[in-house]
Amino acid sequence: AQSVTQPDIHITVSEGASLELRCNYSYGATPYLFWYVQSPGQGLQLLLKYFSGDTLVQGIKGFEAEFKRSQSSFNLRKPSVHWSDAAEYFCAVAPTNFGNEKLTFGTGTRLTIIP
Amino acid sequence: DGGITQSPKYLFRKEGQNVTLSCEQNLNHDAMYWYRQDPGQGLRLIYYSQIVNDFQKGDIAEGYSVSREKKESFPLTVTSAQKNPTAFYLCASSRIGIGGYNEQFFGPGTRLTVL
């Protein structure tokens, strides 16, 4: 079975600073990879996804993520964070040989932005 | 606007009572899902349905039941058999296609508190 690890429970960064959120996965092959964002008390919004091809993917709100097969990682980055980026971020994976129901989430990283 | 509606946003129930959470979508999606979210545990799949009158158990189905009588609706009942029902519940939906992966869209969630 696939699994996802987000090693950082909580990260605090200054507004305008760069951001990197870590995600490692365990799966027998390369899965489909996703990053979602959740504002407090709200549902999840898809930031970006990786299916195949270029390992650097661009998403919404200025986020990008890089897939590194050798490290089984899919880290999320943003060059300069804004106060509105404060939220919880979830990495998720789906196996490529099953249907949509097998989406597996990490435990999340809470991002706090300080002025 | 197309989207997913969950009601109510907050729900309080006494221990031992069954409670039903509503999920409606007007995206014309075939598949619908229920997730449970607890602090520090990410999202876990409870049930999913890919067609009317059919549904499958997810990873934590015990103590829950669902129905899918209409394509647009996928209500979740939290029964008295669920030992720890207090949580944030998220509904999602997606298309179903042959090959590839179809993004899941999430509703705003229902926070259930059992007193």
Q: Would you state the pLDDT for residue B27?
A: 94
The two three-digit tokens of residue B29, written as one number: 């999606």
The whole-number average pLDDT for the span B76-102 is 88
Residue of A103, A104, A109, A110 for testing the chain B interface, max B β-carbons within 10 Å: A103
Count of CB atoms situated within 10 Å of the CB of B57? 13
Answer yes or no: are the C-beta atoms of B58 and B45 closer than 8 Å: yes
Q: Would you state the pLDDT for residue A101?
A: 62
CA dist., res. B39 & res. B20, Å (int): 22
* CA nearest to B38 within chain A: A107
Q: Which residues of A touch B56 (CB under 8 A)?
A: 101
Angle at A53 between CA B32 and CA A50, to 5 degrees: 30
Count of CB atoms situated within 10 Å of the CB of B37? 20
Instruction: Give the model confidence (pLDDT) of B18-40 as tens digits.
Output: 999 999 999 999 999 999 999 88
Residue B58 in this model has a pLDDT that exceeds 90: yes
The whole-number average pLDDT for the span B75-82 is 94
The whole-number average pLDDT for the span B106-111 is 95
Residue B91 in this model has a pLDDT that exceeds 80: yes
Residue B98 in this model has a pLDDT that exceeds 80: no
Residue B96 in this model has a pLDDT that exceeds 90: no
The two three-digit tokens of residue A72, written as one number: 């089984």
Residue A19 touches partner B, C-beta closer than 8 Å: no
Q: pLDDT below 50 — which residues of chain A?
A: none
Residue A46 touches partner B, C-beta closer than 8 Å: yes
Q: Would you state the pLDDT for residue A99?
A: 63
